[in-house]
Structure 1
Amino acid sequence: MRGAVTGATVVAAVLATALTLVPPALAAPPSPTPPPAGGSPAPQDPADEAGSLVARIATARAALDRLTADLGRRQELANRALADDTTARRAADDARRAAEESRRGADAAAAAAERARAEVDAWITAWFQQADVLGPLSVLSGSSGPDDVAARAHLRDVVTADQRAALDGAERARIEAANADSRARAARIAADEAAARAAAARVAADAELTRVRTDTDAAQAQLRELTAQRDAAEARLRSLEDADPALAAQRDRAEAFDAAATARETARDARVRRAATAGLEARAARAGTDDDPLADAGISTDGLSDEVRTVLERALSQLGVVYAWGGGDAEGPTKGIRDGGVADAHGDYDKTGFDCSGLMIYAFAAAGKDLPHYSGYQADAGQRVALEDRRPGDLLFWADDDGAGPVHHVALYLGGDQMVEAPESGKTVRIASVRFDDEIVPTVTRLV
């Protein structure tokens, strides 16, 4: 997923903000109610304590979500560095190949110039050897008549014209060889400069990954502490519910409701995934199909072009695929990579899946679009359109500084204020409602 914050100080600030969200009651077990004078402690009402625990758990979860999201932003900034590294390496390879081709051309031009010079030398030698035959006096002396004189004069003119042509050709070949050599030298310099930029990009990418690792190391202890506090509150709530039939019944109803909602979403995603796959296969075979994954997801398909439909179906065919930071290309899910932090903690490097920008690469490859593996660069890959004019197939983005800063997440708009996304480590590709929060970018990018 995600994008960019400006440094460890920002992460520290977010950590501090996250901590302020956790009330003192979460940071330490609640103090017992002071006993009345001369008596034992007054027991706390289980329902009151349960309500307090629920509030503490919600606060802890919110703090964890904020902290995890901020660390995810660092991952996407590292994605940008890796994309820059890839681009610089590709440019360096192209420059090297161009330099090699230019040098081969220069060598060929030099060889041609040498051949032209050898031809001129041969003409000069022949001219001196035949001067007694082709000279002005020789044309007249020893001739057998006017016709013989005319023939000898014509031969001399031909020889002279050929000699001039050879001299001109040699000069042109010499000039072309010099120009080709200059081009080859310039190409070599450009290749060296491109190689230097590629090396610098590699250093920058390594440095960004190191910063991610450093920031994450500083945050992991806080993540563990918040998780432990949340788990302790949940365990205490569970014990209270087990001891109180009314609370237990309330818990069971809530869990049943959540389980039913999850089951409905899982079943819907399975139907949509099957329908999207069937649609792609039918389109590839130039056959018709009654499956409509968007309609199955409750999204209108009126007026969609085949190109947009294919992009959406390609993304929806990956519902349920695990998130893997750095994963995904034009061919499908790939192994994730190490970030030294959140992604590593979830084992992304050992998973085959997508991150947010990797899923977009795969979806739009069906439309012949070659996207970079960084959401911020994807935002600049097509036409910018106002968010309120969004339509299915557009890219949605979220960024720091109320949507005006570095981009840290991308999703594909499905219509009906629904989107498909690869959210973050520990989750899977999913359909979700568009998050119209402060960080959503006020423009979408239209590629198809």
Structure 2
Amino acid sequence: MPVGARPQAAWRPQARPLSARVNRRTGVIRAAVGFALAAGLLFGSAVPANAVPPPPDNPSDQQIEQGQDQAAASAAEVGRLAGLVAQTQGDIDRLHNDLEMKAELANKARVDLSVAQSDAAAAASASQQAQNDAAAAGQAVADAKQKAAAFAAASFRQGSVLGSLSAYWDAGSAGDVLQRQELLGQVSGSQLNAMSNLEATRTHKANQDSAARAALDAANAARARADQAKVTADRAQQEAADALQAGEDQLASLQAQHDQQERDYQAALANVAGLQNQRDQYNQWLAQKQAEEEAARLAAEEAARQAAAAEAARQEAARQEAARQAAAAQAAAEAAAAQAQAEAEAEAERQSAAREAANQAARAAQEAQANPGAPTYASCDEARAAGRGPIPQGDPAYRSELDPNNNGTACDGGSSGNAQASSEPYYANCDDARSAGVAPINRGSAGYRAALDPNDNGIACEGTVSAAQPASYSSSSGGDSSSRGQRVVNAAKQWLGTTYAWGGGDYDGPTLGIRDGGVADRYGDYRKVGFDCSGLALYAWSQVGVYLPHYSVYQYTGQSAKVSRSDLQPGDLVFWANNTSDPSTIHHVAIWIGNNQIIEAPNSGSYVKISTMYWNGYIGAVRPG
């Protein structure tokens, strides 16, 4: 700044740089600055060697305000982008749930297609059998007609029809003639009846063939619809995957914008801080300049002040000395009083100890007099060395000084000296813990032991299995629903840590995953052997003889009994949906363990694990079987 120019108003930094504004100095400071600069003009040629250096740059109020406005605008943009990032993340979460539902619908389409293909194959087999039966019936009718024609031709060649006189020529009597006439009539009627029955059979077989063809047409139509449904479901799943990918791309773009804006914001803050630092340096320079100009005026006053200060110091010293002496006298008096009180308290303690010793001696004498032949142990260590302890009250060796907790049993602890009861409870097994009403026991809580926590999840005695042994993973069916449900849980627990694979899992265990054209493919599920959520559920329940379809909606809407939230038992299947009033939007299933825990195969990239139950999106539960 040129010499003689009027400086800018001094600036005071604020706590929040985005909302701070420059405050004006008072007129007194401006006048002081003006005086300092005028003095510099008058005495510039006589500046001492240690004079204040030239003034540093002093940014204007407008520059600082512009920097602060820029930082505030950057902060607002950062907030706006952060909101968009959060909103987009929410959209991605919803798209992810929708993708899960579309994936389950794709499962449904595969299941329906498999059923339709099976029905079509059965209908085709029935149609072929009906055609074969109709052809056989037609052939039988043709054979019968051929025989009838041969019979008629023979009669014709004999010159007559059925009942020709040639049949009677060699008859020996009238009775023989009647018998031959009756026989010819029966032969003719039998052939006619046989042909009639064969015609009826052929007609019936033709009708069956027509019905079988109609059933085949219906089965083929159902299979075509199932094929189309699978194509539609796969397309919807792909569209959902594309939408999810687009959302993730948008999120990445917004995140990049947000990060860049955050850097711009930090740069704006740094710029404001730089301007503030320049203003601070200028103010420091101004203060130093004022101090230099004040030094000459203060020098004249310094001697008088020093003299007055010396006199004041002398008087203060005298006053302090008098106060010190008074305080020393008071401290001595307080110390003497404290010593006397301490001696009185010590004497009282000695007297109390003496009385207690006398009382103990009297009790010991009374106990010895009451049990003249009883052994006397000076300590619990001596009693244990003699093979005694704990010693119940009433035993001749019981003494009250060996029972400091006054519970009626002397030497009932494990430490030396007088007996002390342990404050840490010990449970030999989970039955003892449950009988004491403390199960389950968290790690770090009194009574917790690793032996009571066989699955090492930090919670001892959390189930209903007796003692501290893990439940047997039997897969046999039968028994009540609670024991069967526990076997379902145990069957699923065998696969804890198994990789999630979309479409994986059957009645025998984990299987190779399948492609979904989206998220699961990006995680390579089709190259992994594992379970998805409904695959784990159908496997676990198949181990107790209940066979479920590989589709969570069918698992919920099938023949399984619905279970209220208050009646959940181990093994029950719990479901989540996008719309909790519409089962067709179910997108996840898990197995209830108990104690607000579930076992699940949650999603691609994860694994079979035990989780805390979460109720957001919960639609209901079923108990298969």
With the shorter chain as reference, the TM-score category is: 0.5 to 0.7
Q: Deviations over 1:223-274 (max 9, x none)?
A: 5468889999xxxxxxxxxxxxxxxxxxxxxxxx9xxxxxx998439x99xx
Which residue identity is paired with 2:509? G
Aligned to 2:263: none
Q: Deviations over 1:35-87 (max 9, x none)?
A: 996799xxxxxxxxxxxxxxxx9xx9998698457414413322212322331
**Does 2:362 match 1:362?**
no
1:144-155 correspondence to structure 2 within 5 Å: 144-155=172-183
Distance in 2 (CA, whole Å) between partners of 1:431 and 1:207 is 33
1:5-404 matches, cutoff 5 A: 67-68=92-93, 70-130=95-155, 135=163, 137-138=165-166, 140-222=168-250, 224=252, 267-268=456-457, 279-280=472-473, 305-381=482-558, 382-402=560-580, 404=582
Cα 1:105–1:208, aligned 2, differ >3 Å: closer, same or farther? Answer: same
* Aligned counterparts of 2:188 and 2:202: Cα–Cα separation in 1: 21
Q: TM-score, normalised by structure 1?
A: 0.66
Counterpart Cα distance in 2 of 1:228 and 1:367:
52
Match of 2:283 in 1: none
Matches of 1:155 and 1:191, distance apart in 2: 53
Q: Conserved in 2, the CA contact under 8 Å of 1:279 and 1:313? A: yes
Q: Check whether the contact 1:375–1:410 (CA below 8 A) recurs between aligned residues.
A: yes
Whole-angstrom distance in 1 between the partners of 2:132 and 2:477: 50
In structure 2, how many angstroms separate the alpha carbons of the residues matched to 1:422 and 1:86? 20
Deviation at residue 156 of structure 1 after TM alignment: 1.0
1:322, distance to aligned residue in structure 2 (A): 1.5
Alpha carbons of 1:192 and 1:218: their partners in 2 closer, same or farther (altered >3 Å)? same
Alignment partners' CA distance in 1, 2:223 and 2:572: 36
CA pair 182-277 structure 1, distance change in 2 beyond 3 A: farther
Please give the alpha-carbon distance, in whole angstroms, between the structure 2 residues aligned to 1:67 and 1:411. 23
Q: Which has the higher contact order (CA 8 A, sep 6+)?
A: 1
Which residue number corresponds to residue 316 of structure 2? none
Amino acid of the structure 2 residue aligned with 1:307: R
Instruction: Give the aligned partner of residue 436 of structure 1.
Output: 615
For the Cα contact (< 8 Å) 1:95–1:191, is it kept in 2? yes
Q: Give the TM-score, by structure 2 length.
A: 0.49
Q: Is the 8 A contact 1:61 1:230 kept in 2?
A: no
1:416 to 589, 595, 613: 595
Letter of the 2:123 partner, please give it: A
CA deviation vs aligned residue, 1:146-189 (integer Å, no higher than 9, x gap): 34224312321330232133222221222123213312321331
* Structure 2 stretches lacking a partner, 5+ long: 1-15, 23-57, 65-81, 261-443, 445-452, 463-467
Q: SS where residue 599 of structure 2 aligns? A: strand
CA contact (8 A) 2:488 2:540 kept: yes
Aligned to 1:268, the other structure's residue is in SS state: coil
Q: After superposition, what is the alpha-carbon deviation per residue over 1:277-328, rounded to whole angstroms, capped at 9, x for unaligned?
A: 9823x55699xxxxxxxxxxxxxxx965553233222212111112122222
* Alignment partners' CA distance in 2, 1:190 and 1:96: 12
Larger % of helix: which? Answer: 1
Give the equivalent residue in structure 2 for 1:18.
Answer: none
Q: CA deviation at 1:122?
A: 0.7
The answer as to whether partners of 2:476 and 2:544 remain within 8 angstroms in 1 is no
Cα offsets for 1:346-373 (capped at 9, x unmatched): 3323222111111112112223333232
Cα separation, 1, equivalents of 2:472 and 2:93:
36
Distance in 2 between the 1:139 and 1:390 partners? 91
**In 1, are the aligned partners of 2:552 and 2:587 still within 8 Å (CA)?**
yes
Distance 1:34 1:266 in 2: 57
For the pair shown, the structure with the greater C-alpha radius of gyration is 2
The amino acid of 1:202's aligned partner reads: K
Q: Is the 8 A contact 1:276 1:313 kept in 2?
A: no
Q: Is the 1:277–1:314 contact (alpha carbons within 8 Å) kept by the matching residues of 2?
A: no
Instruction: Determine the structure 2 residue equivalent to 1:20.
Output: none
CA distance in 2, matches of 1:229, 1:358: 41
CA distance in 2, matches of 1:87, 1:79: 12
Contact 2:476-2:545 within 8 A present in 1 as well:
no
Question: How far apart, in 2, do the equivalents of 1:69 and 1:333 lie?
Answer: 29
Inter-partner Cα distance in structure 2 for 1:73 and 1:148: 94
RMSD: 4.1
Structure 2 counterpart SS, 1:369: coil
Q: Secondary structure at the match of 2:621?
A: strand
Judged with a 3 Å threshold, the aligned counterparts in structure 2 of structure 1 residues 184 and 79 are, in CA distance, closer, same or farther, namely same
Alpha-carbon distance in structure 2 between the residues aligned to 1:186 and 1:208: 32
For residue 432 of structure 1, what is the amino acid of its counterpart?
A: S
Q: How many residues align?
A: 350
Return the offset for 1:198. 2.6
Structure 1 stretch displaced more, 166-175 or 129-138: 129-138
- Does the 8 Å contact 1:411/1:419 carry over to 2? yes
Percent of residue pairs identical: 35
Q: How many angstroms apart in 2 are the aligned matches of 1:139 and 1:215?
A: 94
